[in-house]
Amino acid sequence: MNTVKYKALALGMATSVATLLGSAANAVEIEYWQYYFDARVTAMEQLIENFETANPDITVKMSHFPYADYRTKVAAAIPAGEGPDVVQLFYGWLNDYVEAELIQPLPADAFPAETIDAEFFPMVQAMKSGDQYWALPTAVRSLALFYNERLLEEAGVEPPNTIEEMMAAAAAMTKRDGAGNITQVGMTAGMTAQDHHWWREGLIRQMGGEPYTNDYTSVNYNSEAGLKALEMYVGMATGDDAITAFGFMDEPQAAFKAGRAGMHIDGSFRIGSLNKQRGLEWGVTELPATTDGTRSNYSSYWVNAITTKAEGEKYDAAAKFMAYVTSDEAMQVWLDVVGELPAKPSVGLTEANANDETYGPFIRGLAYANTTKFADESAQRQLMVEMVERITLEGMSPADSLAKAAEAEQKILDEYYTK
């Protein structure tokens, strides 16, 4: 090899090594945390792989935890300078995370409020304070009625369109043993799952009432409509003609997955796990309407936010990652893998998605959905659980239990908004 060629080769090798060393020196690793839900983990793994391919100088390390432990771990890690740079949180927790200084506003230059207002579904504006957003979702949710195709066929009934049809179909699919114990429920029930949302934003509104005042600072369900909705809901599990049982197989979704429930109200996020359930043939339809055609639904979402731990180059990398996981591409991946609905109409309302046999009922449900603004989502949900238990376990009248729940929830709202 002549001297010129050798020097050129050596120079090229030196340049390559320097480039590699420079890349290694400039490489940034950020952490992403979410609660464990198998389809969500699978989707995020795919998004991280896509992001790292496009951004070879950034590595994203994902950690996930059981739902029951998730908030505690986040609250302990970030103040200690540990844990995630980008964190997933339920929209109803936003106020808690801001107050505890766990997250920081998204950079206004990369996430201009006017652009987000124009491009995302309006419900995400609950994440905005002034002219800045604190967090953004990849996907949004609504509720729909899942049904077991085999059990419907065996009972000789069709997927219901109205509440009355739903009750009749559930009665036809309910089975009992010789002692009268329910062995197969026609309809799942449980305020610990999605039923507290269905009761609040669905049934109460369908009965002619409103669960809260427009700004969600005052309880408004201790009313004739609220009582009617509660009596209907509890009535499904009481009496000789009960079509369900609270606590059946512990969790409502478990009963449906096991083929022991005819129908189940749940969010679009359940699609991914149901698709993996062998031997389960299921379909989905919009939440049933009242006889006069009135429909109401609940919408919610999980968001991602940049934590106060992220600083300097980690903050910049976290902002890049946030931009990708809220992109059109990421939303389509999330829809395909998890089943949650894109947070932008540009993705969700495409002809293919809006008319999809599975996703369509959820997407149509967004048109008549309301998003509850929680002060303390966990505590407010627990009050609904206790409201039902006082009736079914303690024998309290629905009217008295409803009034007690309303009083307790108003106290939570008053304490929060006063503070």
Query: 145-163 burial string, b = 16+ CB within 10 Å, else e?
Result: bbbbeebbeebebebbebb
Determine which of 14-28, 40-54, 167-181 has the lowest per-residue pLDDT on average: 14-28
What's the CA gap between 253 and 265, in Å, rounded?
9
Residues 266 and 284: their CA atoms lie apart, in Å, by 10
- Sequence-ordered list of residues with C-beta below 8 angstroms from that of 323, at least 6 positions apart, any chain: 110, 111
CA distance 150 to 354: 26
Q: How far apart are CA 239 and CA 235, in angstroms?
A: 7
- pLDDT, one tens digit per residue, over 137-149 is 999 989 999 999 9
Q: Does position 174 have pLDDT exceeding 60, yes or no?
A: yes
Give the integer Cα–Cα distance in Å for 381 and 90: 14
The string over 281-318, giving b where at least 16 C-beta atoms fall within 10 Å of a residue's C-beta and e elsewhere, is ebebbbbbbbeeeebbbbbbbbbbbbbbbbeeebbbbb
pTM: predicted TM-score of the whole model, two decimal places? 0.77
Residues in CB range of 238: below 8 A, 6 or more apart: 392
CA distances from 350 to 136, 360, 366 (A): 21, 11, 14
Average pLDDT over residues 334-357: 88
Give the mean pLDDT of 172-182.
95
* φ/ψ bin of 339: left (φ > 0), alpha (ψ from -120 to 50), beta (otherwise): left
Whether residue 135 is predicted with pLDDT greater than 60 in this model: the reply is: yes
pLDDT of res. 6: 37
Does residue 9 surpass a pLDDT of 80? no
At residue 276, the pLDDT reads 84
User: Binning pLDDT at 50, 70 and 90, where does residue 26 land?
Assistant: low
pLDDT one-digit tens code per residue, 272-317: 789 888 899 999 999 999 999 999 999 989 999 999 999 999 999 9
Distance of CA 365 to the CA centre of its chain: 14
pLDDT (tens digit per residue) in 99-122:
999 999 999 999 999 999 999 988
Q: Are strands 297-300 and 132-133 parallel, antiparallel or unpaired?
A: unpaired
Phi and psi at residue 61, in whole multiples of 5°? -100, 120
Count of residues making up the chain: 419
Domains annotated on the chain, with CATH: 29-140+300-369 (3.40.190.10), 143-298+375-418 (3.40.190.10)
pLDDT interval class at 400 (50, 70, 90): very high
**How much of the chain exceeds pLDDT 70, in percent?**
94
Residue 297 forms beta bridges with which residues? 369
> Do 348 and 103 contact (CB within 8 A), yes or no?
no
What's the mean pLDDT when you consider all of the chain? 91
